[in-house]
Amino acid sequence: MEQERRPGQPRFPTHALQLRDVWLRLGREVILRGVTLDVPAGEGVTLLGENGAGKTTLLRLLASGLRPTRGEGRVLGFDLRDSRAVRDCVHLMPVDGGLYPDLTCTENLDFALSMHGQRGDVAGVLRRVGLERAASRRVRFLSAGMRKRLALARASLLARPLTLVDEPFANLDDGGRQLTLELLGDLAAQGVTLVVAAHEPQLAVQIAPRAVRLAAGKVEERAT
């Protein structure tokens, strides 16, 4: 289904992200400090930084969960403050998966697809992530690793043009980490722009090779 084009939005934006001097204050605390960043469409970026550097907050802002206090930004051609438009083309996979605990695995995926007006092979992707036998189990009864696999399955099914992933390798064994690399690699191969916040750069850069470091809410350095 083609996304409705809005005034001022290029039909084929060359950049997935364009941030200019973006600041974010929550209460009395300044979380992001003058972030300027350009990410071409289809590029993969790994966000590096210590705990508290602002990685998760930046992902939430890019997904329109937070509004910038100051500065300008565009997400796939849309103004960063146009929450409805941004949410139509962005998927955020938070560190806890962001799943509905009282729904089953199948129901979680069916609901995600229906919210975006999409169809997909739910049974097939559950099989791909090794959850076919847990398809009818409620999420609240799954282990942390199984919930992570389900969240990856949802991201894979939706394949939003911009996919934001927070700590994708947490709570996974070696097999789960390899599966994560494969699923996110598939998205990258489809032209999805990936922004991955991770404490395992040696893994993340395999699917998001450009590295951007945050320190105290600032873009400190960029490295390839």
Cα gap 105→168, rounded to integer Å: 18
- 9 within some domain: no
- 91 within some domain: yes
Is 167 exposed, middle or buried (CB count within 10 Å of its CB: 0-12, 13-18, 19+)? buried
Query: What residues contact 89, with CB distance under 8 A and at least 6 apart?
Result: 3, 75, 76, 78, 160, 161, 162
- 6 within some domain: no
CATH of the domain at 115: 3.40.50.300
By residue range, what is the domain housing residue 79? 15-223
R_g over Cα of the chain: 17
Counting residues of the chain whose pLDDT is more than 90, the rounded percentage is 85
The helix (H) or strand (E) run that includes residue 26 is: strand 15-26
- 63 within some domain: yes
Task: Calculate the average pLDDT of the chain.
Answer: 91
The helix (H) or strand (E) run that includes residue 203 is: helix 201-204
- In the block, tokens 């199948």 appear at 106
pLDDT tens for residues 63-96? 999 999 999 999 999 999 999 999 999 999 999 9
- 48 within some domain: yes
**Which pLDDT value is given to residue 222?**
58
- 5 within some domain: no
Angle of helix 144-158 relative to helix 105-115, nearest 10 degrees? 30
- 3 within some domain: no
pLDDT tens for residues 135-174? 999 999 999 999 999 999 999 999 999 999 999 998 899 9
What are the start-end ranges of the E strands in 61-215?
70-75, 78-79, 90-93, 162-166, 193-197, 210-215
- Span 107-124, average pLDDT: 96
Residue 10 has pLDDT above 50, yes or no: no
- 113 within some domain: yes
CA 173, 178, 182, 184 torsion-angle sign? positive
Number of domains, the chain: 1
For the entire predicted model, the pTM comes to 0.91
